[in-house]
Amino acid sequence: MRQYIYISTAPDLSRSEIDLILASCSRNNAERGVTGMLLYNGRNFLQLLEGEQEDLMWVMRRIASDTRHSGVSKLEDIYTEERACPDWTMRHIRLVDDVDARQSTLEAELPDALDPQLRRTILNFAALN
Ligand SMILES: Cc1cc2nc3c(=O)[nH]c(=O)nc-3n(C[C@H](O)[C@H](O)[C@H](O)COP(=O)(O)O)c2cc1C
């Protein structure tokens, strides 16, 4: 099984557009056995996806050709025995407005089983403005 993290750019997506994305996630990810989380800071997405390689590539092909965002860039792609987010078809984590408080509030929401390297990558993203 693999865990994959990418970032992308999508200035000013509305809450309802994000809800549409999440609806696609629950439609497709459950069927493909893909789990993970999605963070949005008002300008950039970071998404963690986990699942079997073939299923991840199926989802990533769709995501990469989605015109709602651009500049999709891979940050992490690691082998794992176990999922960090087995119960989340796609958890949307809202980043709090106060950038200084983001890392500590996010830390409390990240799953315990998350690989330390992936945790650092996600927390670094949260600190960006
Ligand atoms: C930042 C971002 C993350 C997305 N994540 C997923 C995802 O995890 N799974 C998924 O099926 N679609 C995801 N999408 C949507 C896909 O790009 C695509 O619109 C969708 O898979 C189409 O499927 P549908 O016809 O069932 O809605 C994402 C889109 C964006 C912009």
Q: Per-residue pLDDT tens for 49-90?
A: 999 999 999 999 999 999 999 999 999 999 999 999 999 999
The predicted-structure confidence for 94-113, as pLDDT tens digits, reads as follows 888 888 899 999 999 999 99
Phi and psi, residue 18, nearest 5°: -65, -40
Whether residue 45 has its Cβ less than 6 Å from ligand 1 = yes
Mutate to test the pocket of ligand 1, among 14, 62, 92 (most ligand atoms within 8 A of CB): 62
The closest alpha carbon to 76, from 17, 26, 128, 36, belongs to: 36
Write down the number of H helices and E strands in the chain: 4, 5
Pocket test for ligand 1, best of 25, 31, 40 (most atoms within 8 A of CB): 25
Q: Classify domain 2-123 at the CATH topology level.
A: Alpha-Beta Plaits (3.30.70)
How far is 89 from 51, CA to CA, in rounded Å?
A: 11
